A and B are shown apart, each in its own frame.
Chain A
Amino acid sequence: MSVIRLVISMIATLLLLAATAPSMAQTDPLQTLVQALPKGGYAEREKVILDLAGTGDPRVADVLGALGKGDLYTLKDSGTVIVATGRGNSLETADPLTGKALGAVDKSGLDKIRVNNRLRRAIDSAVGQLTLMGKDPATRLAAAQSMLKTTDPAAIGMLDTAIAQEDDARVKTAMEQARAAALLKSDAALENKIAAIDTLIAKGDREALAFLTGARSGASADLLPAIESGIKSIEDKLAFWSALQNVWYGLSLGSVLLLAAIGLAITFGVMGVINMAHGEIVMLGAYTTFVVQEVIRNNFPGLFDYSLAIALPLAFLVTGAVGVAIERGIIRWLYGRPLETLLATWGLSLILQQTVRTIFGPNNREVGNPSWMSGAFDLWGLSITWNRLWIVIFAMIVFAVLLAVLNRTPLGLQMRAVTQNRRMASSMGIRTPWVDALTFGLGSGIAGIAGVALSQIDNVSPNLGQSYIIDSFMVVVFGGVGNLWGTLVGALTLGIANKFLEPYAGAVLGKILILVFIILFIQRRPRGLFALKGRAVDA
Chain B
Amino acid sequence: MTLNLTRRATLAAALTGAMALSLGLVRAADDTIKVGILHSLSGTMAISETTLKDTMLFLIDEQNKKGGLLGKKLEAVVVDPASDWPLFAEKARELISVNKVAAVFGCWTSVSRKSVLPVFEELNSILFYPVQYEGEESQRNVFYTGAAPNQQAIPAVDYLMNEEGVERWVLAGTDYVYPRTTNKILEQYLKDKGVAAEDIMINYTPFGHSDWQTIVSDIKAFGSAGKKTAVVSTINGDANVPFYKELGNQGISATDIPVVAFSVGEEELAGIDTGPLVGHLAAWNYFESVDTPENKEFIDKWHAYIGNDKRVTNDPMEAHVIGFNLWVKAVEKAGTTDTDAVLDAIIGLETPNLTGGIAKMLPNHHITKPVLIGEIQDNGQFDVVWETEGTVPGDAWSDFLPESKMIEADWTAPINCGNYNTETKACGGAS
A interface residues, Cβ below 8 angstroms from B: 42, 70, 114, 116-118, 120-121, 124, 149, 206-207, 209-217, 242, 245-246, 249, 252-253, 256, 353-354, 357, 361-366, 368-369, 374-376, 383, 385-388, 457-463, 466-467, 498-499, 502-503, 506-508, 511
Are B208 and A369 closer than 8 Å at their CB atoms? no
Main secondary structure of the interface of A (DSSP, over half): helix
Partner of A386, one of B42, B249, B254, B278: B249
From known contacts A116-B279, A206-B224, infer whether A502 and B214 are also in contact, taking CB-CB under 8 Å. Answer: yes
- In this complex, how many residues of chain B approach chain A with their Cβ under 8 Å: the count is 56
Q: For B246, list chain A residues within 8 Å (CB).
A: 385
Q: For A212, list chain B residues within 8 Å (CB).
A: 226
> Can you list 15 contacts pairing A with B, beta carbon distance less than 8 Å?
A116-B383, A120-B255, A207-B224, A252-B213, A253-B213, A362-B41, A364-B47, A364-B272, A375-B251, A457-B210, A459-B238, A467-B208, A503-B214, A503-B218, A507-B215
B interface residues, Cβ below 8 angstroms from A: 41-42, 44, 46-47, 50, 163-164, 175, 203-206, 208-211, 213-215, 217-218, 220-221, 223-227, 238, 241-242, 245-246, 248-251, 254-256, 258, 267-268, 270-273, 276, 278-279, 375, 377-378, 383, 385
Partner of B249, one of A114, A121, A374, A502: A374
- Give the complex CA separation of A186 and B124 in angstroms: 68
Shortest CB-to-CB span from B387 to chain A, Å, is 12
Shortest CB-to-CB span from B403 to chain A, Å, is 25
From known contacts A354-B42, A387-B249, infer whether A42 and B270 are also in contact, taking CB-CB under 8 Å. Answer: no
- Give the complex CA separation of A147 and B41 in angstroms: 51
Are A459 and B271 closer than 8 Å at their CB atoms? yes
Are A458 and B205 closer than 8 Å at their CB atoms? no
Partner of A508, one of B41, B205, B276: B205
- Give the complex CA separation of A508 and B204 in angstroms: 7
Are B217 and A383 closer than 8 Å at their CB atoms? yes
Are A364 and B271 closer than 8 Å at their CB atoms? yes
Shortest CB-to-CB span from A107 to chain B, Å, is 10
- Give the complex CA separation of A253 and B208 in angstroms: 15
From known contacts A366-B273, A461-B271, infer whether A117 and B258 are also in contact, taking CB-CB under 8 Å. Answer: yes
Are A458 and B249 closer than 8 Å at their CB atoms? no
- Give the complex CA separation of A350 and B341 in angstroms: 43
A212-B226, A503-B214 given; name 4 further pairs at CB < 8 Å. A249-B217, A256-B211, A385-B250, A507-B215
- Count chain A CB atoms within 10 A of each CB in B210, B256, B268, B378 and give the residue with the most: B210
Are B251 and A121 closer than 8 Å at their CB atoms? no
In the complex, what residue of chain A is closest to B386 when comparing beta carbons? A116
- Give the complex CA separation of A350 and B375 in angstroms: 37
Partner of A213, one of B163, B220, B225, B241: B225
Partner of A117, one of B164, B271, B377: B164
Are B204 and A118 closer than 8 Å at their CB atoms? no
Shortest CB-to-CB span from B242 to chain A, Å, is 5
Shortest CB-to-CB span from B371 to chain A, Å, is 16
In the complex, what residue of chain B is closest to A214 when comparing beta carbons? B226
Are B206 and A364 closer than 8 Å at their CB atoms? no
Are B271 and A246 closer than 8 Å at their CB atoms? no
